[in-house]
Amino acid sequence: QVKLVESGGGLVQAGESLTLSCAVSGTTATGSYGWYRQVPGKERELVAGLSTTGRTNYADFVKGRFTISRDAAKNTVFLQMTDLKPEDTAVYFCNLVRLLRGEWWGQGTQVTVSS
């Protein structure tokens, strides 16, 4: 059974950094990974993506500040967040898509940025 568990969220001040982790278990097969975020009353939105070929893509609002990466040996995906802003406050979710196999989500981790 595939399971994604996020960690690393917390409360920080504007301008500080955080690194989120997404530990993947139940599969070591390749897939596309993504970090999404959601605030109450709004739809979940893509923050950063990592394709099976290693190509990354970022939402405009995080370009230059956030970096997605994966440690294959640890089967963990990371989201390094720098220069955090109050508008980055959200629940951050990890996502895995394996073509023709399925899609999985973690339970989310709260990131709160105070001004």
- Mean pLDDT over 18-29 rounds to 91
**How far apart, in whole angstroms, are the C-alpha atoms of residue 115 and residue 81?**
16
pLDDT of 29 > 90? The answer is: no
Instruction: Report the amino acid identity of residue 115.
Output: S
Predicted confidence at residue 28, as pLDDT, reads 78
For residue 63, the 8-state DSSP code is: T
Question: What's the pLDDT band for 30 if we cut at 50, 70, 90?
Answer: confident
**pLDDT tens profile 58-106:** 999 999 999 999 999 999 999 999 999 999 999 999 999 998 889 999 9
Do 77 and 69 contact (CB within 8 A), yes or no? yes
